Amino acid sequence: MCPLADLYLSIVLISLFFGLAFVYAGRAILIGRVAHARTDADGGSIFVNKAAMEMVYWVIDPFISFIAALRITPNMVTMGSLIPAAGAGVAIGFGYFGLGALLAITAAFGDIIDGLLARKTGLMSDAGEVVDAAVDRYGEMFLFGGLVYYYRGHDQVLFIVLLALVGSFMVSYATAKAEALGVPAPRGAMRRAERGTYLMAGSAFTPIASTLFANSPSLALRELPIILSLTIVAVVANISVVQRLAAIAAMLRARDAANAAKTPPAGSPFDDEAMATKPDAPVGMV
């Protein structure tokens, strides 16, 4: 693919997004916003608002019944999404950010569709959730892998990529650790959907910036969108990790303190070990 084709692809993607946003905004004004169980449960955040999430589900929902009619299973969609995810990493690794954005968006749609399809067809299962979570991690690592390869000769930007990668991994780790320890996972910022949104948007806008500033000697200017997106993810994700781990530690301390308060002190009349070693009272004594 030539750079010009990559630029045209970026322009089409961005135009399509803003066109859908315009149509959805008109629909929201005339008819009302589209309620969806998943967006209501998530609520959106400062980094990806609820209206944007509603628009995505509004676009995808009509296709779910069609996909189910084709007897495509959620696991098929999940595993299939690995292909465009890997392609996105390869495309970005060779500097085709427009193509990378298109493939990453395709993989993201697959990630959304598999859950909706599982609910519609009644095929939800813990095993399917494990597969879905594993594929999500691989998909994200493919994207970061492409960025690491592309910026391997630029130490400063590579450091930002690695910092974003560490923050992304640790946000997921903090959530998984909270669930494993039996405490509510803190919500926090820069969850996977938010990270993906910023990286896909940054990738989509990068060919435009590269064209506008093609004669600039500054890499930061030529590739400002993706570098800015990576910086936001790196900073916010790592701050979120610290907040999440602090919240988890506080909940665990509170739980331990509550459990300790319920445990009778050793040697008390209600301590099982003390009762077991206490001599029996003489018969007839009250």
> Has residue 61 been placed in a domain?
yes
pLDDT tens by residue, 10-65: 999 999 999 998 998 888 888 887 777 766 666 666 667 677 788 888 888 888 88
Contact between residue 96 and residue 6 where contact means Cβ atoms under 8 Å apart: yes
Domain residue limits at 243: 3-258
pLDDT tens sequence across 245-259: 999 999 999 888 888
Q: Is residue 160 domain-resident?
A: yes
The pLDDT tens digits of the residues spanning 51-97 come to 778 888 888 888 888 888 888 888 888 899 999 999 999 999 999 99
Asked, for residue 246, whether it belongs to a domain, the answer is: yes
Residue 188 in domain? yes
| Residue 50 is assigned to a structural domain of this protein | yes
- Is 263 part of a structural domain of the chain? no
Q: How do residues 218-241 score in pLDDT, each as one tens digit?
A: 898 999 999 999 999 999 999 999
CATH number of 220's domain: 1.20.120.1760
Instruction: Kindly state whether residue 282 falls inside one of the protein's structural domains.
Output: no
* Number of domains into which the chain is organized: 1
Output the pLDDT for position 166: 95
**Residue 286 falls inside a structural domain:** no
Interatomic CA distance for residues 13 and 29, integer angstroms: 24
